[in-house]
Amino acid sequence: MIAIILATRAEIIKMSPIIRLLSERQKDYFAIHSGQHYSYDMDKIFFEELKLPPPEFNLDVDSGANGEQITKILTGTEKNIHTEEARCRIGPGRYEHGPRWSAGSGKVRHQCWTFRGWTQEL
């Protein structure tokens, strides 16, 4: 199982081709979305316009203190990755989200953060 990690609008856009590729190749994957942007115009519209399925898991982080957001991201990511038994995690690796996702991923065997070379394995 592959976990797709999404947080910002830019990440939804960047990850959309990968989500389509996984769907076309009929790979088992699921998406975790931080839910930091809770308004329609800042979030859901991107899934609709890019014709992407809604994420299976929304962490509903919303706005708030940085520590609160990090805690919600860490616990929500870890819970969903382990529940779904993800063996690979793919995310755009933005500098402020990378450490949060990595810490929340715990014992995931493969952590794929770049877009180079990984598609051959899929």
Cβ atoms of residues 103 and 18 within 8 Å: no
Query: Considering the entire predicted model, what is its pTM?
Result: 0.75
In the chain, the largest separation of any two C-alpha atoms, in whole Å, equals: 40
| Each residue's pLDDT tens digit, 67-96 | 888 888 888 888 888 888 887 777 776 544
- What is the set of domains in the chain, with CATH numbers? 2-112 (3.40.50.2000)
Give me 80's structure tokens. 């969903």
Q: What pLDDT band is residue 116 in, cutting at 50, 70 and 90?
A: very low
